[in-house]
Amino acid sequence: MVTIQVGKKKIQGARGSNLRETLLAAGVPLDSPCGGRGSCGKCKVRVLGEVDPPSIAERELLDSGLKLGLRLACRVTIRGPLAVELLSSAEESAPSEEVISRDMQLGAAVDIGTTTLAGYLVDLPSGSVLATASRLNPQASYGADVISRLAYAQEGGSQDLTEAVRRGVADLLVDLAGSLGQIRKLVLVGNSAMHHLWWGIETSSLAQAPYRPASTQPISEPASTLGLSLHPEAQVYFLPLVAGFVGADTVAALLATGLDEGHARRLLVDIGTNGEMVLAANGKLLTCAAAAGPALEGAEISCGMRGIQGAIEAVNLDDGINYKVIGDVEPLGICGSGLVDLLSELLRVGAVDHTGRLLGQAEFLAQGGAAKLASNLLEDGFQVAVGPQGPIVLTGRDVRKLQLAKGAIRAGCEILLSAGGIAYQELDEIILAGAFGSYLSPKSALRVGLLPPVELERIKSAGNAAGEGGKLVLVGDQQKKRAEEIARKLEYIELAGRGDFQERFMEGMLFD
Ligand code: FES
């Protein structure tokens, strides 16, 4: 065994073993959407010490980064003691400063997102939130999205996925409360795949058409049966599901936003790795899910990254290139909100046409484009910045991926409106929810056509509505009943079987 220094932490690894696997086994968070195949480039770390020379995949993906000591953890074989610096992928949650006394009765609500676990620690008698924290879902090392996780489960990996998510939630609870013994209630929300994998329910019906959950019922179990050492009487409750791609997170988001109450015509759009939409209109609650893919969250985009330190989160091309980086550090890549902003700005200045084609330098100038921006139009895309890891470029291929994603979301919105018998002009409000939706600039979302063209003032952000809904259920039994009622009332519209989906999807891909 050799010692590996990871930040302030020391872990042990075997000579000849793989660095990514060693880091994950030691609980070090590491993005690896391709599951360690050496194709996504997201498991980048800086390595100092005894390792094998770079592989071909690393030479291709890292290029000049190799000189700076960058390596792909999944391609590195440990040969001796090492120091590893985690780059953009590492995420530590911030523990609470609040004092937790021994006699407090605690509860926790966790939103099990495909990418991130978001948790709240609550003082049960008062309902006040004592701490919040988030962590990478450890299942991410088996694949970036729901589809690849389900595929892994089909290949016999269900137990790995169940263990990973339970371990991740337990670690998150320790981040929140310091220990587990005082937690008397745990409420969970998440999509249908996360729900099944959490409970260890067979996922094959979710993995193939018509993509139905094995069960949509709410489930409650003693924590002890799940191997969680919470308070001896603690119960774990997972909100009900609606359909294969409309899960407990959507039910919780509805609960938190009160979308089902009153007479307003409202559309909730939750953009995560998948897009779920709900329309409340004329006494009905209609829902659908669109396979947007992970592009809007920065995955599968050449310089894309999650919304963490180092990510460009906002772009403005008014007077040259201006951007804002999370944490005010040098830029490492672009996250979802930055990508939508950038695309929106490129459309506005005429560097991307209505079909999504990036113009060449000469063509852009001939059409009156600003000279300041023209020099950033390279052969392989638009260069936004140069960071310590090299140029940050949005390529034509990236634009296509973003178009596919926004086309799917927009088509889902249009189909709900038509099924609800209303025009977009009649919408009182569009609520953006989800990890990505909350940070998205409504103005940019409208300009790229991700949302129906309502007035800007009608778009509201709901933050992590799913987590908020989980919190409500944690402190109120009445809310639990309401959540179950919402799940029963939601009418699910399957997009895959509809003749008009393809047409609306093609229209939705274009820009106005
Ligand atoms: S390149 Fe994808 S995990 Fe290493």
Could you tell me if the CB of 40 is within 6 A of ligand 1? yes
Domain boundary among 346, 367, 394: 394
Could you tell me if the CB of 34 is within 6 A of ligand 1? yes
Could you tell me if the CB of 62 is within 6 A of ligand 1? no
Structure tokens at 352: 């991307």
pLDDT score at 206: 94
Between the CA of 505 and the centroid of ligand 1 the distance, in Å, is 31
CATH of the domain at 79: 3.10.20.30
Is the domain of 284 the same as that of 422? yes
Is the domain of 52 the same as that of 143? no
Q: Which atom of ligand 1 is nearest to the CA of 75?
A: 4
Going by their DSSP bridges, the two strands 377-378 and 381-387 should be labelled as antiparallel
Q: Which atom of ligand 1 is nearest to the CA of 35?
A: 3
Could you tell me if the CB of 38 is within 6 A of ligand 1? yes
Could you tell me if the CB of 30 is within 6 A of ligand 1? no
Which of 21, 30, 58, 72 for a ligand 1 pocket mutation test, highest count of atoms within 8 Å of Cβ?
72
Give the 3-state secondary structure of residue 243: strand
**Residue 405 domain flag:** yes
Could you tell me if the CB of 41 is within 6 A of ligand 1? yes
Between the CA of 39 and the centroid of ligand 1 the distance, in Å, is 6
Pairwise CA distance, residues 338 & 343, whole Å: 8
Is the domain of 233 the same as that of 131? yes
**Residue 94 domain flag:** no
Pairwise CA distance, residues 321 & 323, whole Å: 7
pLDDT score at 308: 78
Could you tell me if the CB of 185 is within 6 A of ligand 1? no
pLDDT score at 64: 62
Q: Which helix (H) or strand (E) holds 130?
A: strand 128-136
**Residue 93 domain flag:** no
Tokens 């106005």 belong to 512
CA angle 177, 179, 183 (to 5 degrees): 70
CATH of the domain at 232: 3.30.420.480
Is the domain of 231 the same as that of 377? no
Containing structural domain, residue 387: 303-394
On whether the CB atoms of residues 297 and 286 are closer than 8 A, the answer is no
On whether the CB atoms of residues 189 and 466 are closer than 8 A, the answer is yes
Domain boundary among 52, 86, 120: 86
Is the domain of 152 the same as that of 211? yes
CA angle 456, 467, 277 (to 5 degrees): 45
Could you tell me if the CB of 43 is within 6 A of ligand 1? yes
Q: What is the pLDDT of residues 40-74, one digit of tens each?
A: 777 888 888 888 888 887 887 777 667 667 889 98
Domain boundary among 27, 57, 86: 86
**Residue 92 domain flag:** no
**Residue 443 domain flag:** yes
Between the CA of 134 and the centroid of ligand 1 the distance, in Å, is 22
Between the CA of 32 and the centroid of ligand 1 the distance, in Å, is 5
Is the domain of 379 the same as that of 341? yes
pLDDT score at 197: 97
pLDDT score at 191: 93
Between the CA of 74 and the centroid of ligand 1 the distance, in Å, is 6
Is the domain of 218 the same as that of 144? yes
**Residue 98 domain flag:** no
Total domains present in the chain: 4
For 72, other C-beta atoms within 10 Å of its C-beta total 27
Is the domain of 330 the same as that of 377? yes
Give the 3-state secondary structure of residue 71: strand
CA angle 315, 318, 322 (to 5 degrees): 40
On whether the CB atoms of residues 182 and 232 are closer than 8 A, the answer is no
Between the CA of 162 and the centroid of ligand 1 the distance, in Å, is 22
Tokens 């990036």 belong to 358
Between the CA of 143 and the centroid of ligand 1 the distance, in Å, is 10
Between the CA of 51 and the centroid of ligand 1 the distance, in Å, is 17
Q: Which atom of ligand 1 is nearest to the CA of 72?
A: 4
Which of 23, 32, 71 for a ligand 1 pocket mutation test, highest count of atoms within 8 Å of Cβ?
32
pLDDT score at 92: 42
Between the CA of 139 and the centroid of ligand 1 the distance, in Å, is 14
Q: Which atom of ligand 1 is nearest to the CA of 61?
A: 1
Q: Which atom of ligand 1 is nearest to the CA of 32?
A: 3
Q: What is the pLDDT of residues 14-38, one digit of tens each?
A: 999 999 888 887 877 777 767 777 8
Pairwise CA distance, residues 266 & 450, whole Å: 16
Residues of the chain with pLDDT under 70: 7-8, 33, 64-65, 67-68, 87-99, 273, 435
Strands (E), 403-490: 429-433, 459-461
Structure tokens at 453: 């063209």
Between the CA of 46 and the centroid of ligand 1 the distance, in Å, is 14
Is the domain of 407 the same as that of 280? yes
On whether the CB atoms of residues 312 and 327 are closer than 8 A, the answer is no
The CA distances from residue 464 to 40, 352, 433, in Å, are 27, 32, 6
Q: Which helix (H) or strand (E) holds 503?
A: helix 499-509
Is the domain of 115 the same as that of 230? yes
Q: What is the pLDDT of residues 458-486, one digit of tens each?
A: 999 888 899 999 999 999 889 999 999 99
- Is the entire prediction scored with pTM above 0.95? no
Could you tell me if the CB of 36 is within 6 A of ligand 1? yes
Could you tell me if the CB of 32 is within 6 A of ligand 1? yes
Tokens 């672009």 belong to 334
**Residue 275 domain flag:** yes
Structure tokens at 49: 């010490």
Could you tell me if the CB of 480 is within 6 A of ligand 1? no
Is the domain of 418 the same as that of 273? yes
**Residue 326 domain flag:** yes
Between the CA of 20 and the centroid of ligand 1 the distance, in Å, is 9
Which residue, among 330, 306, 328, 316, has the nearest Cα to 392 in the 3D structure? 330
Pairwise CA distance, residues 274 & 293, whole Å: 6
Is the domain of 390 the same as that of 405? no
Which of 18, 34, 56 for a ligand 1 pocket mutation test, highest count of atoms within 8 Å of Cβ?
34
Could you tell me if the CB of 71 is within 6 A of ligand 1? no
